Each structure stands twice: as C-alpha cells, then as structure tokens.
Structure 1
C-alpha cells in the first residue's frame, strides 16, 4: 500500500482540564472555537464535523458530532460520531482525514470532550460477555488500577524495574506539566513524595495512577487545496492507526504470570500495543529513529515504560535504562510526554487522543513554550481503547 497524501493540520485548540462540573458540550465549544481561530477559518467554512463520543453523558454524548454541530450553530455540515473509548479522538480524526482524502471534504473539524465522575472509571452499564475488557472487570475484578498494577508487577519480574523507576516517570511528567497551561496538575514532585503517596494497587501508588478529568480538545484538518488557499504552517498528518488485535495477541492482554508469582512468563515477540504504532510507521514510511518526540498513554507510570518499547524507542527490557539515562526528558534523545501526559491531565476519555495531537502540533510549530523540544520535526501519539481499539497518529512538518 502506498502512503496516502498528507492532510494539513490548520488549527488545534483545548479547554483546560480539571474538575469543572459543567456540561461536556461547553468544553467542546471552547476547544472548537480555539481550533477554528488558530486555523484562521470561520465555522461556516467547515463542511464536516467528527465528534468523539462519550457514553457517560447521555444521548448527546452518543451523537457527539451532531451535538457539537448544533452547539456551534447548524450550517448543514455533514457529521459523524465515533466511539472507541480512549481511542475515540483518533477514530474521529481518521473519519475526517478519510473524507478529505476521498475528495468529499475540504475543511473538517474534530472535537472530543468529557465530563467524568470521581474515582476510577467503572465499566458502562449492561452485560457485554463478548467484550474482554468487560470480562476483566466482572470476572477478574480487575478495575483499572489493578490492571495497571499487573503490568507494573510484570515489568518488575521480567526486567527488574524498581519502585524508583516508576516514580521517576511521574517526576519527569510533573516537571513537564508545570509549563502547560492546559494541564490540571501543575506541581513538581520528588521521587520521595511519589513513593510516600498512598498505595492503591501494589506496586502502584496514588501519584502513579492518572485521575479522571473534565476537558476537551479539537483539531481542524484541511485538504491540500484548502490549505494553500487558507494558508498553512506545514504541519501534516502522515498516518493514523486504528488497528485491532491480531490473534493470538488479543485484549485485554493481561500479563501472563506463572503459578509462582515471582516468575513471569516471557512476553510474546509482538503485542497488540506494539502493532498500533507499527501500522503508523508502515503507512508513513517513517521509522521510530526519525521521531523528535512522542506522546503516549500513561494511565500509570509503569505503562509509560511499556510504551517506550511498544513504539520502538528501545528494545524489550530497555525502557528503564532509557529513562535513567534521561533520553525521554525534554532535551534528551527522544522526549516522551512533554505535555505532562495523563499524569498531569487526567482522563477525559474522548478528548485524550486529540489532546496528544494538539501537543505534537504545538511542538512541531515551535509553540510549546518552556516545554519546547528543540528542532521538533516529527512526532507520534499512541494510546489504546477498550475492546481492542488501537490509536496512533504520526505528524510531521
């Protein structure tokens, strides 16, 4: 398959993340208007709206494309609503990009917003016995913190990761988030403070697991012709991956621990998470050695280390060394989560994948302020949604 034509990113925008207690549509409108202003286009210039769905917010959340189109003012634009859990934003972005590449749209707006409950995210109502993620909630009792902890314990058993390694990820991301005006948590922490926070699911502590947040993000995409007419800074989407697992590497892909809990069964040669970014590299013809930065899905500090290997920044078992050497710091060889990541934002599920894209765009433009990665030219995002939804976006200028 030949690489598709690049699609221009004309604008990006966000609503700051926190616990605001308002309707998710309000956040989405703010992010959308910021993205339109950033793009230099009027709302009436948009001919397609893709909304990332949020199931917790009732019927308007199920039909978010139409919800945001109505909130911004009916103009007759085409709409789509996309649900893929934490990958919803990338799925909506892919819907917009595909329509542009098909010649059916010139300017598209993609919006994701959420209002979340307190505590960890529980599974949606109803029985879904064919959904592996529902099964791990109901049959294993593996709520998200437990799920994250199993991965963390596996890293310790397989590769010798330590509590201090996990804490260093939080320290790095918290430092990055200090310079991000959209982040919810903007406070530097030490390794000792992280290790002193309450234990949630051993070995992960409170400061090593992301919170739930309200927030929104939006992106304006355009065809090459529209970008030339309107004006573009040269940032383009080079690839989007929304892959599903390949048997036998299926979700939930729980760590396969031996009967002796001190001994872990070696990881398979490839995993579902590794296939997510790989699909992007293959589509764009760009490899991980050409990246300037990465934004990855750090639901826990240990999970960020897994992503280093899954997106090809290092080999299996080498993530801790990459971290300890400072390679993933701003100023290092390959900065990861320069935005502060979910450690500083928390989860606003349908907005997460779009927020990652916003950060990479700001970095590629040189607009990231004190968290700027020098000379950034290429960046990738990566996350994963329930029921086998992959999400990765590769951008370049």
Structure 2
C-alpha cells in the first residue's frame, strides 16, 4: 500500500456570496491547517485546483493561494481537469509525498461561479468539444443531463418519481450539513412542482452553480506519526483513468467525452438506446482502477460521495461503482439503501444537490466529507462504523476521478 495521511480538512460554506474565489480558498486552507494542528510555515508544497472563470489568478491557483497565505518558500503547483480538478490536485500532492519531494502538502480549490448555466470560457474555440456542444448542438449542461435521464427511462424503466427521490434523500442529508448552500428538506411533490428545465428533469433535479472552497492537509504516514497522529484517515487510491472508446468504424466527434462509453460501433450505429457497453464505460473504469489500487471492492465501503449533477446521474454512479447491478440504481433508492441510515449511504454530505458546483473545490470537498465521516465526527449525518469510502467525479474531455479513503 502507498497510503498518505489526511491531517486536516477545511471548507468555506457554499453559496452565492459574490466575492473573490481567493477569499473562499484561503478560508478553507486556514480551516484545514487549524484542523491539522500545523502552521502555514510548516507546509512544504501547495497544490491549487484551477478555475477558468476567475481570470489569470484562477489559472495559477497554487501560486495565488500561496501568495494570499503569505510567501514562505513552499513549492507551488496548479492543475486543471474541469470538474475532476480537485482530485487531480490530491493526486499531485500524493505523488509529491510518495516521491519524497514533500512531507506535508496543502491542497486547495475554490470558485466564484456565474449565475445560470456554465458556458465555455475564453471565447470562440471551434476545436474545443465543450464549445461545440453548446454552439453546434445547443446542448447546455441540463440538456445533456436530460439525455442520461431519458436513456435510463428507456433502458431500465426508471421514472421521474425515482429521480425525485434522489433529491429528497440528498436534501435531507444537506439539511444537516453546515457547509451546504441549501439546508432545507424537500418533498417529492416539491420536485414535481418545480419548473421543467430539460425534460424529464425539473429545476430541483439539477444542481446549481455556486461559490465555495475546500482544502486538505496531506502528509506522509511518517510525518503523521511524528505529529502525534498514529491512526489518521488515509488516502489509499486515486484513479484518474481516461475512457476506452473505439473509433475503428465510426469516426465519432468528441462532442462531450464526459459521456464516453466503450461500445460496439455496429450497435451504436443501429441504435443509441440499444448500446451494450463492453468493456465497461468510463465511470465504471474510473471506479475499477480505484478499487484495484486500493485492494478493496464495493463490499468494503461504508459510504460514497458521487458527482450528482442531476438526480438521474447519481443512479448511474450506483451501478458504475458496483453498488448494484446495471439497471438497479433506482431500486436502491426505493429501498432507502443509499439514504442516511441505509446500508450504504451515498452523498451523506448532501451532494451537489445541496452544495451546487464550485468546480475546482467539489472533488476536494468530497474527500473532506470522507475524512470527517471516517473520523466519526460528521455530527448528525454520521455514518455508523465508517471505515472506508469512495468519491467519484467526472470532468469534461475525458477527465474523471475516484478517491478511496480508509481508517
């Protein structure tokens, strides 16, 4: 095993605060340092998860946060992987620690998000699949999420009522989380009464865009022991694999590789609904690589934090993480298995349904939640006896991530 220790976790509450992203990131960083019981001067490296919507400081987030905290000689690194940026930052910190380049590393991500749908940043870019998706297809993110939902309805018989129950579950958990933007419970009737955004998804089926920040203090196991923490939460695996996507028959455009599924091209040509994934799709491959590295499987997990851009997408993650068979995600929700108090809670934090997207911070925030849960100090949303958990995230253009943490 190549474990590293999570010494500290900190967050700035999510919301629409209208302030500079640096303020959120430094607040989260200071909270993580305080949680770890170390001084900023002790940090040997800073890894920042970049934001592309906050100007040049967002493109060099590692240096931006180091400057805001006060130059003290630490090395800096900045990484970008869209919505998987935070996990890439964790993985970069882990690599530095395992390589002996640093004993203690601060990982920070924060964002100040625009109102409404995320749109491609940086002007016209006809070679950018994200730009093409918006401009050629007219597919905003909610329209894209709706395609997932319709596919589940066609293949597995999922209903809008099943999707609504995901929101009900996550809102109940988010109501218990002081860092969540939305802290009120929601009924299925309220979901059904909310405005249709992209059929069949309604406003309460999709996540908002938010401001927020999250940070972690990571260290070598030896440093943790010297620091008086003999049994810390440990990051055991980080998966950042890319899709396997055959192009031998169909020269398919990279309109949105965050949906990439490895499929038989002949089947794809015949019917998109009749797809028979073989080998596993992108999200399943992310999870498999994490399990393999960690030496664990779905049966070892106590909880999962997944990327619920929409209620329907959360059901996809259940299956891709191996929590149930293909097409059985809705069944888990109906049984209450993934709710707080269920056999394997998913998004005990409240998920993006309760937080919204603060892009570079969200994968870090997922690891914060695992840290608090595995320590046993998650308060009213505590998962009893939690010893292992997984996060799952997905970014544009073939970026994705899963982090396995254990205690």
The bucket for the TM-score relative to the shorter chain is over 0.9
Q: Say yes or no: does 1:279 pair with 2:289.
A: yes
What residue ranges of structure 2 are gaps of 5+ in the alignment?
248-253
Q: How does 1:217-256 map to 2 (within 5 A)?
A: 217-232=214-229, 233-248=231-246, 251-253=257-259
Per the alignment, residue 207 of structure 2 pairs with 210
Instruction: Report the Cα distance in structure 2 between the residues aligned to 1:273 and 1:254, rounded to whole angstroms.
Output: 9
SS of the equivalent of 2:226 reads: helix
The 5-angstrom pairing of residues 34-73 of structure 1 reads 34-73=31-70
State how far apart, in whole Å, the 1-side matches of 2:83 and 2:382 are: 26
3-state DSSP class of the match of 1:179?
Answer: coil
Listed as ranges, the matches of 1:1-397 within 5 Å are: 3=1, 5-232=2-229, 233-248=231-246, 251-253=257-259, 264-269=273-278, 270-397=280-407
C-alpha contact (below 8 Å) 2:13/2:181 kept by paired residues: yes
1:46 touches 1:108 (CA, 8 Å); kept in 2?
yes
Tell me if the contact between 1:151 and 1:254 (Cα under 8 Å) persists in the aligned partners.
no
1:131, distance to aligned residue in structure 2 (A): 3.8
8 A Cα contact 2:260 2:282, kept in partner: no
User: Contact (CA 8 Å) 2:392, 2:403: kept in 1 or not?
Assistant: yes
Do 2:306 and 2:347's aligned partners in 1 also have CA atoms closer than 8 Å?
yes
1:224 Cα offset (Å): 1.5
Question: Which 10-residue stretch deviates more, 129-138 or 51-60?
Answer: 129-138
Alpha-carbon distance between aligned partners in 1 of 2:324 and 2:290, rounded to the nearest angstrom: 17
Could you tell me how far apart the structure 1 residues matched to 2:85 and 2:218 are?
17
- The answer as to whether partners of 1:145 and 1:200 remain within 8 angstroms in 2 is yes
* 1:178-221 deviation per Cα after TM superposition (whole angstroms, max 9, x unaligned): 11000000111110110010000000000011000000000000
Counterparts in 2 of 1:180 and 1:342: CA distance versus 1, 3 Å = same
C-alpha distance in structure 2 between counterparts of 1:131 and 1:246, whole Å: 20
- In structure 1, stretches of 5+ residues that fail to align are none
Instruction: State the distance in 2 between where 1:231 and 1:343 align.
Output: 37
Q: In structure 1, how many angstroms separate the alpha carbons of the residues matched to 2:195 and 2:276?
A: 30
Q: Retained in 1: the 8 A contact 2:268–2:275?
A: no
* In structure 1, C-alpha distance between the alignment counterparts of 2:226 and 2:98, rounded to whole Å: 17
**Displacement after TM superposition at 1:322 (Å):** 1.0
What whole-Å deviation, never above 9, does each CA across 1:278-326 have from its counterpart, x for those lacking one?
1100111111110000000000000000000011101110101111111
Distance of 1:387 and 1:307 partners within structure 2: 18
CA distance in 1, matches of 2:124, 2:321: 33
Q: Distance in 1 between matches of 2:382 and 2:360?
A: 25
Quote how far apart the aligned CAs of 1:374 are. Answer: 0.3
Would you say the 8 A contact 2:83–2:359 is kept in 1? yes
The equivalent of 2:250 in structure 1 is none
1:118 and 1:357 map into 2 onto residues whose CA distance is: 26
Task: Give the Cα–Cα distance (whole angstroms) in 1 for the partners of residues 131 and 323 of structure 2.
Answer: 31
In the TM superposition, residue 273 of structure 1 has moved relative to its aligned partner by 1.1
Separation (CA, whole Å) in 1 of partners of 2:344 and 2:125: 40
Q: Deviations over 1:322-374 (max 9, x none)?
A: 11111101111110000000000000000000000000100000111110000
Q: Take 1:175 and 1:201, find their aligned partners in 2: how far apart are those partners?
A: 24
Kept in 2, the 8 Å contact 1:133–1:252? The answer is no
RMSD: 1.8
Q: Structure 1 residues 181 and 247, CA, compared in 2 at 3 Å: closer, same or farther?
A: same
Partner SS for 1:117 = coil
